[in-house]
Homo-oligomer: A and B are copies of this chain.
Amino acid sequence: MKLLVTKDELINRYKQVRMNSEQICSPLQAEDYVVQPVQEVSPPKWHLGHTTWFFETFILKFHAPGYRLFDPQYNYVFNSYYESVGARVIRTNRGNLSRPTVKDIYRYRKYVDNAMVEFIGKCSLTSELIHLIILGFNHEEQHQELLYTDIKYILGHNPLFPPYSTEKLEMTSQPGRTTKMMVIPEGIYETGYEGDGFCWDNELARHKVYLNVFEISDSLVTNEEYLEFMEDGGYEQFQHWHSEGWDWVKKQHIHAPMYWHREDGQWMNYTFNGLQPVNKEEPVCHINFFEAAAFATWKGLRLPTEFEWEVASLLFEWGKRWEWTQSAYLPYPHFSKAPGALGEYNGKFMVNQHVLRGASIATPAGHSRRTYRNFFPTNQRWQFTGIRLAK
């Protein structure tokens, strides 16, 4: 893997990445940093602390001579799921912690940032260290995306519906767009990451797959199309749904994508700008795998597999929505886990989730790749997820 070469490049990118996280939080009030309305949404202050803990735990603690932990108790607070790195606050309790305060955590960031910059400047850069540091960048970028989605959840589930910003952050409509199905011939294709940049372990082991001839849309399903599904009784007809999806619809009384509210006969949508009328030209967003699959079934079509998506993705624009695929999240043929705590990241989640491909408007610039394998449980909706159809 060929990576950034100079210390200056590393330090600059370090500063940039770290600043970006704080930038995302700049419109927040202290209180917004604290709450955890549902298990999958973490408090913003936890994200800020956890990404810092990552650099401290995996780099400074082991590689920086004489480094003193900012606070030895923070490991307990900011460890996410690394069984190798000791006990931790259980996930559902993150929103119960008023301390450390937001100010404490910004002090923690500053302390670790100073130590990291000093460390990169002084250390003898091995390829293992470079890899760890760049892993830290990518890890923090993943949490930047989660910051956006979690902040949206926190504000969008508040009865006052406060806007996050006055900028038009979510505008993604394409007036005048046409949709067509592209045909991809059958054959053997290669899939998986190739190159010398950064990628996650789950993209590695590039390998051949056989694809039948298939068709795939060059654009995402819009709110307008999704409204047709809703108006045609999509949420009331079991035929379109997986059995587990249908249970979810009935039990949770689901009638629309997350963040949609019916007000005075009109569908409103909570966005970063507050409640807005649903924009019909935008790609539908915040739907889970069950909804994506039900929509496709209703259309007489299906979702693409992750391999079809990867092969065809050269031919269409992507990056506005994480796109649900028909593929379960499973190891590639020669997948192997990294040794130690870092190996816990991807492998242990490879069951009962589905792969999303692409990227979303919340994904940091430069963080996306055609081979990137994102994954979420099939009932989750708080990410910026969308639908591309195949046949």
Contact = CB atoms under 8 A, between A and B. Distances in A.
Contacts of A157: 96
A227 to B, nearest CB: 25
A38 to B, nearest CB: 8
Contact of A98 (B29, B93, B350): B29
A225 interface: no
Interface string A4-33: 000000000000000000000000011111
Contacts of A186: 208
A214 B333 CA distance: 9
Given A159-B73, A210-B188, A212-B207, A35 B245 contact: no
Given A37-B96, A99-B162, A158-B98, A243 B349 contact: yes
A338 to B, nearest CB: 12
Contacts of A378: 351-352
Interface residues of A, number: 67
B96 A348 contact: no
B159 A77 contact: yes
A115 interface: no
A289 to B, nearest CB: 7
Given A98-B158, A351-B378, A212 B333 contact: yes
21 contacts: A29-B99, A30-B31, A31-B45, A31-B99, A34-B98, A35-B35, A35-B98, A73-B160, A83-B239, A89-B159, A95-B96, A96-B154, A188-B188, A212-B334, A242-B350, A242-B351, A244-B351, A244-B352, A246-B348, A326-B331, A328-B330
Q: 3 tightest CB-CB pairs across the interface, nearest first? A: A328-B328, A37-B96, A210-B210
Given A100-B160, A214-B333, 9 more contacts: A31-B102, A35-B95, A77-B159, A83-B246, A96-B157, A96-B158, A99-B158, A244-B352, A245-B351
